[in-house]
Amino acid sequence: MTVIRPNSISGVSSITGSGGDISIFRADGTAADLIVNNVTTGVVTATTFSGNITGATGTFTGNLGVGGVLTYEDVTNIDSVGVITARTDINVGDSIIHIGDTNTKIRFPAADTITSETGGSERLRINSSGSIQITPEGSTSNPYMLIDTSGDSVRFNAQKASGNNEFRFLTQSSGTVAEKMRIHATGAVTKPLQPSFGAYGNASWTTINSNNGSVPVLPNVSHNVGSSYNTGNGTFTCPVAGLYQVMFHTLVSTDDDSQNDNARSFDVFFQIGGSNFPRHHVKRGYQNDGDVQVTMDMTCTEIFTINTTVSLYFYANAGAQRWYGAHTYFGVTLLS
């Protein structure tokens, strides 16, 4: 250890050198301050720096705390491998861009407007009015859907620069996506998978014996959407709960084509869940008819639960009677 006692330096009692270090002490034995204009050296180690620090480059291996404002001048990039946390606002220019995927971004293209882009094309826009514009996949700007409000209503608008467009609604079932409803430009609404069927019989007469009845089996269908009608037993099974329309038409006569018969009648019921529905019943007699072959019709609407069965029931009252298959039609359609 070397001790130098610089009597000519006011307030400094000693300068000590040990192991390559230099220590400066005041007369009271406390560490003294070193004030210089410039220091040119390799490494300066200090527990605290006070005042301004100016340098060309800097590396911090620990935490950097800034109590005031941190200002970057002429900085083109800030690279962080971790998380950047801002406790108040982040001010950006036009875009927030995804690293390595520069055509995917969130933009602020105009005042009070936010857009999102994928593949270099705008997909979503929130306008200054609060309306939301969605540009579908496969289209750059046309057509698009606009969501806005009018009074107490929320409006979904299918819009296009020119020409006609439409809304289509699709759902997935068992992994298959299919269209379930379409609103056409004219306002017409079509539901291609709406449960519905229409069935009719063969070109022949079927006789029902006196005071007997049965469910007529109509083996032919004009349509059977959803396959809910069974052509083997003449029964429709409701695939969902809802409001249904049920209708039928048939041509009947006595088995011997007699006329002015006031005893016999042909009864038709809608059979719900295997039981005749009394309020949906039509009866046809033959007295004073101009033709011994007469037609019968009935239509109703009912709310059914899921798996409710619906069928016809024909009954020959007080004498054998018959119905003609090619002129008999039975149909059920889900309304809502």
pLDDT at position 66 is 73
pLDDT at position 248 is 97
Q: How confident is the model at residue 254 (pLDDT cuts 50, 70, 90)?
A: confident
pLDDT above 90 for 239: yes
- pTM greater than 0.75: no
Please state, for a pLDDT cut of 70, what percent of the chain lies above it.
83
33 phi/psi in degrees, rounded to 5? -85, 150
Say which range, 91-95, 218-222, 266-270, has the weakest mean pLDDT.
91-95
Q: How confident is the model at residue 20 (pLDDT cuts 50, 70, 90)?
A: low
Q: How confident is the model at residue 322 (pLDDT cuts 50, 70, 90)?
A: very high
Strand partners, 182: 168, 190
196-334: CATH, from 2.60.120.40, 3.30.300.30, 3.40.718.10, 3.30.465.10? 2.60.120.40
pLDDT above 70 for 195: yes
Q: Which two tokens stand for residue 300?
A: 């109703």
Instruction: Output the DSSP codes for 179-234.
Output: EEEEE-TTS-EE-TT--EEEEE--SSEEEE-TTEEEPPP--EEEEEETS-EETTTT
Residues 161 and 154: beta-carbon distance below 8 Å:
no
Residues 326 and 201: beta-carbon distance below 8 Å:
yes
pLDDT digits (tens, 9 = 90+) for 141-191: 567 778 888 888 888 888 777 778 888 888 998 999 988 899 888 889 998
Torsion sign across C-alpha atoms 13, 14, 15, 21: negative
